[in-house]
A = this chain, B = another copy of it.
Amino acid sequence: MILPPDPQVRLTTLTNGLRVVSERMDHLATASVGIWIAAGARHEHRDEHGLAHLIEHMAFKGTDSRSARQIAEEIENVGGDLNAETTAEVTSYFARVLGEDLPLALELIGDIVTRPAFAADELEREKQVILQEIGSYEDAPDELIFDLFMEQGFPDSVLGRPILGTPDSVMALSQASMRSFLARQYRAPAMVVAAAGAVDHEALVAQAERLFGGLSAQQPEQAVACPYHGGDMRQKRKLEQVHLVIGAEGVSFHDPLHEAMHVFAQVMGGGLSSRLFQELREKRGLCYDVHAFFTPFSDTGIFGIYGGTGAKDAGQFTSVMIDQLRQAAAQLEPAEIARAKAQIKVGMLTARESPTRRADQMARQLLAYGRVPSGQELSRRIQSVDQDSLKQAAERLLQGQPTFAVIGPHTGLPDFTRLQGDFVPL
């Protein structure tokens, strides 16, 4: 299966370097539009922990010409939905609206991104909201476990810190630090305006020029390297399940093994037929959720396996996880490789059929690669993954130091030295 061509994709670069990309979908009455900025938690300085996420929140709290309530009402008056997200390397602001309201949505996004007021009273209140957000996250062990895992994988580096910050670090942030982050990171060459659905490219470009044309054309400050380390982090907590993640350093999205590592993660734990699901849930009945993930960044990546199981089974669960990883690294069947590729390709096609996911996909591709690869190219790249590249990808995982993170009432887990000893090629 080859993904269809995309003749409707249009890309324009403004004079200051900001890129505008769109894909018109003639049959849709709605559109998604937003701005994606290559500035995330890892662009924070040491003393700015939680700043990228705080700025994302504060964008909604008023601009030079609109109050927080006006922002909310203007977009929702037309039935629109405005949202934002902060990840390690990207902050995005996006909306879903009727096609005719796309200019209104982009106008609001332009206002909150380029002219936030950062009012002192709103800042103090919003810090309280973020403390509540941190609290709700603390109460969700199946989310929190991924923060512990990253913290142990990339200790003493901005990539290993929770994106939300800590209560202390958030309380210490100031209006001045927000202004300084915006000035050095929210720069045109690091920005993509993307839209998909009922969109007119020329109008989009003209509006983007008006809203963002005055932004600095200088390159933003680059993120510092975040060396992977690995290790062991176990948190005892009274819970029904032991939540655990085991993994290792992955590769960046520029790495030749990038596609192979995606396919390997899919084979390991990407669906009902995956090795981990079959072995740990179907054959042994030890869990409800088990899955593998691979998250590439610009210069490194992380691969892991998550599972939740009962306290008494946690030891067996961990051993089987590692055993499955070693077996897959040693030998994969042609049928499961073909199946994983089909799943990834149909998944990409499904995403391309949703305007929200399509705008997100194109924007992130531009930030990562400087271009929007065609469907045919992406299909070919996935299709070219073979036994050799899969073996290389798996060996990369098993060569390094593992990372192990656990939350829950765990007992009977192997100690880390034992686990390191097992985490090697067969």
A21 within 8 A of B: no
Known: A79-B343, A273-B73. A349 touches B29 (CB 8 A): yes
Chain B nearest CB, measured from A96 CB (Å)? 6
Known: A69-B282, A76-B342, A82-B272. A308 touches B132 (CB 8 A): yes
Instruction: Enumerate 9 A-B pairs (CB-CB under 8 Å) in ascending A order.
Output: A72-B273, A76-B342, A79-B339, A98-B346, A125-B282, A135-B288, A136-B240, A136-B241, A139-B142
A97 within 8 A of B: yes
Copies of this chain, complex-wide, total 2
A272 closest partner in B (C-beta)? B72
CB-defined contacts of A225 to chain B, threshold 8 Å:
none
Complex Cα distance, B351 from A81, in Å, reads 13
Indicate if the CB atoms of B69 and A278 lie closer than 8 Å: yes
CB-defined contacts of A216 to chain B, threshold 8 Å:
none
Indicate if the CB atoms of A342 and B78 lie closer than 8 Å: yes
CB-defined contacts of A272 to chain B, threshold 8 Å:
60, 71-72, 75-76, 82
Indicate if the CB atoms of A288 and B346 lie closer than 8 Å: no
Known: A78-B346, A271-B81, A346-B80. A285 touches B128 (CB 8 A): yes
Complex Cα distance, B128 from A282, in Å, reads 10
A140 within 8 A of B: yes
Known: A27-B25, A27-B26, A98-B1. A73 touches B339 (CB 8 A): yes
Q: How many A residues touch B, CB cutoff 8 Å?
A: 80
CB-defined contacts of A132 to chain B, threshold 8 Å:
241, 285-288, 308-310
A224 within 8 A of B: no
**A contact residues vs B (CB 8 Å cutoff):** 1, 4, 25-30, 60-61, 68-69, 71-73, 75-82, 96-98, 124-136, 138-142, 238-241, 243, 271-273, 277-278, 281-289, 308-310, 335, 338-339, 342-347, 349-350, 353-355
Indicate if the CB atoms of B133 and A347 lie closer than 8 Å: no
Most central of A82, A287, A349, A353 by chain B CB within 10 Å: A353
Known: A338-B77, A342-B78. A136 touches B72 (CB 8 A): no
Indicate if the CB atoms of A346 and B79 lie closer than 8 Å: yes
CB-defined contacts of A310 to chain B, threshold 8 Å:
131-132, 135
A125 closest partner in B (C-beta)? B285
Indicate if the CB atoms of A288 and B133 lie closer than 8 Å: yes
CB-defined contacts of A139 to chain B, threshold 8 Å:
141-142, 239-241, 243, 308
A73 closest partner in B (C-beta)? B273
Indicate if the CB atoms of B136 and A308 lie closer than 8 Å: yes
Indicate if the CB atoms of A136 and B278 lie closer than 8 Å: no
Known: A77-B339, A346-B98. A308 touches B354 (CB 8 A): no
CB-defined contacts of A96 to chain B, threshold 8 Å:
346, 350
CB-defined contacts of A353 to chain B, threshold 8 Å:
28-30, 355
